[in-house]
Structure 1
């Protein structure tokens, strides 16, 4: 059996594969590469929610790979982020970074987000054909997170390119090189904030470091993680949401006529085409049973929010975009202690984008056939390479 998660068709439309796997069992054993190894993929909603919260599924990649030969050269600031830790280390790191992404600070960012969206949309005019990914979905989130981190404006395009390279599926050389470039840059930026404090997010992390709550390496690693996670998911969310709406003219018309509904339908847009297809790495520390499937100790367990959000047992008629649906239980941002730290910021950015976009360009439509769209070749992220639209 070949790995169904590496089929080229999976990157274009993973939902048929997810449905097939879920139809056989909510937790499915699949081969990994051509080495005879295997993983367990969790595709059922109830099972995914359970797995997200199960402490027997560890995020500590160093623990899993200890003693295994590796040909990779990932920088430790990328390979050993908060996402690759368990409590109590994870608890301590999340406590350090968390305050910047609570509702209060996010609300204070809204005027800046609106200003950036205005500037990006201001160069477009009715009748234009534009790439919504390159012109809006990419620059907005990276600009916002770079502003929070204090990345100079002239460096942001370069930083975004390195971040994108970290997801170059099938190109470990490019991923490793990008990890060193990004980590080196962030180490220099952290040091500059140490010399010249600016009161920003990195400065707050440095204060925690001075108090003994974080090491210097942890400050750099958190900076890298916040940069990457702070825009990649939102970029995909914006692109996927706009595509879903232009493919469903009735839904688009409803939001165009009543933009006040946009905050209430974000969960359905997240559910319908989750920006995260398969969550980051976990492994079993002991034998366990999920969804009636026995999972031995010491194997990778891949939780698929993209599959769980289309589980008909939780969301009836899941392949239909239904703006009246209560999708607040969707798992696009995960669940439990590892739930996406930046979810409030991602929601704020997406809400402002959709409101401004539909207000300025109410007649937006897809400029190419759907089958011509190119998707990123990574099973972690679910996002478009480009989205040509006619305004």
Structure 2
């Protein structure tokens, strides 16, 4: 990193550069290694910032809790995949993303009412609380099997051995996706949720994912089974049904959100516990506290950094900042969840604290439809893991943590742990 000039400032060893009267922070390697350190600096300067992303284009990022919660429910901050891509292409002065990329992203998370309400209603008919509750015995069975496999070793990478395969197997069974295909779609997912600027890799993954999901949807149309994707293919609401294009994008959303979120909820939560033995010991001594602890893991270092992008169709005032029309806006959930104006000692993990009101799953009409499933999986995972391996610790000679380079996903590449003394 270059030495600070006259328009730079440093606080807590984090540098953010200032251009003229506007605060423009830059997302660099230091940011992805520890976004919380940067967010602390930004919040001191205000709840809303212009930020230059790695592709060179600037966006607006909201970091204050009150402003973030309001923005997530503000209909003036719009969601439309095609319009967002138009704005982004203009800012970067590059060609638009491929049709396959847009095909994957035209789902209910990137749709405004009334289309959003229509899509969500059809999904809700298939993704019911009863369906999630019915999965509990199977999630417990998968968890026990993975822990049995781990017990043959003294040390493992917890991400590869447990945090990834558990939610991947669950979402495969829920959606009706062959588990044998897991490596392919997990690799595609990593490329598609990575940081902007890797367009060639993203384009290849988009083509592969669209082709795979299209064939899967057609198979469910011809030969439906007892799974969520078959239910979506055949869902009806007042003679309305999802088109093939809508089914492909919806399958993509549920597949990615259905496993990537839970992977990193488990990984980040275990990582936080192993760095604070007092919290680990307290949770191990009282397993009934696990559901509340999961909420604290979501607040303290949740699996989503910034919520998916929104845009302004008109000028929108957020806090004391006027964001002009035609601007891209991100809500930094990770930053909002550590705002001292909302949470006491926000940079301290406290499984007995009050994490209520955290924004890890969003807020408003786009609140995560899979939140009950993620909470259930995580509660089962933490309870069983700590019971089976009471001496769980970071592996000897452990690491500086390597975090994914993504504005969307907050997650570790690996988590080496020792299972017994």
How many Å apart are 1:350 and its aligned residue? 0.5
Residue aligning to 1:146: 172
Residue aligning to 2:282: 254
1:23 aligns with 2:50: no
Contact 1:121 1:357 in 2 (8 A): yes
> Which has the higher mean CA deviation after the structures are superposed, 291-300 or 65-74?
65-74
Residue aligning to 2:66: 46
Contact 2:106 2:246 in 1 (8 A): no
TM value normalised by structure 2:
0.88
- Separation in 1, partners of 2:241, 2:389: 48
SS in 2 for 1:208: coil
Residue aligning to 1:179: 206
Pairs within 5 Å for 1:228-307: 228-307=256-335
SS in 1 for 2:303: coil
The Cα RMSD (Å) is 1.9
1:167 aligns with 2:187: no
TM value normalised by structure 1:
0.95
Residue aligning to 2:27: 6
- CA-to-aligned-CA distance 1:84-142 (integer Å, 9 cap, x gap): 11111111111111244443221110111111111111112276110011111111111
Match for residue 376 of structure 2 among 344, 348, 354: 348
Structure possessing the higher relative contact order (Cα contacts under 8 Å, 6 or more residues apart): 1
How many Å apart are 1:143 and its aligned residue? 0.9
SS in 2 for 1:222: helix
- Going from structure 1 to structure 2, the CA distance change for 1:314 and 1:119 (only over 3 Å counts) comes to same
Where does the alignment leave 5 or more consecutive residues of structure 1 unmatched?
none
- Going from structure 1 to structure 2, the CA distance change for 1:10 and 1:207 (only over 3 Å counts) comes to same
- Separation in 2, partners of 1:63, 1:186: 24
Contact 1:74 1:175 in 2 (8 A): no
- Separation in 1, partners of 2:186, 2:327: 33
- Separation in 2, partners of 1:226, 1:217: 14
Contact 2:85 2:96 in 1 (8 A): no
Residue aligning to 1:108: 134
Match for residue 63 of structure 1 among 79, 83, 87: 83
How many Å apart are 1:368 and its aligned residue? 5.0
Residue aligning to 2:5: none
> Which has the higher mean CA deviation after the structures are superposed, 95-104 or 316-325?
95-104
- Separation in 2, partners of 1:363, 1:4: 42
Contact 1:42 1:302 in 2 (8 A): yes
- Separation in 2, partners of 1:28, 1:317: 23
Residue aligning to 2:253: 225
How many Å apart are 1:157 and its aligned residue? 2.3
Give 4+ residue runs of structure 1 displaced > 6 Å after superposition: none
- Separation in 2, partners of 1:370, 1:124: 19
- Separation in 1, partners of 2:33, 2:86: 34
Match for residue 107 of structure 2 among 81, 97, 117: 81
1:93 aligns with 2:113: no
How many Å apart are 1:156 and its aligned residue? 2.1
> Which has the higher mean CA deviation after the structures are superposed, 172-181 or 348-357?
172-181
How many Å apart are 1:384 and its aligned residue? 0.2
- Separation in 2, partners of 1:339, 1:5: 28
- Separation in 2, partners of 1:121, 1:77: 38
Where does the alignment leave 5 or more consecutive residues of structure 2 unmatched?
1-16, 19-23
Residue aligning to 2:338: 310
Residue aligning to 1:136: 162
* Equivalent residues, number: 390
How many Å apart are 1:261 and its aligned residue? 0.8
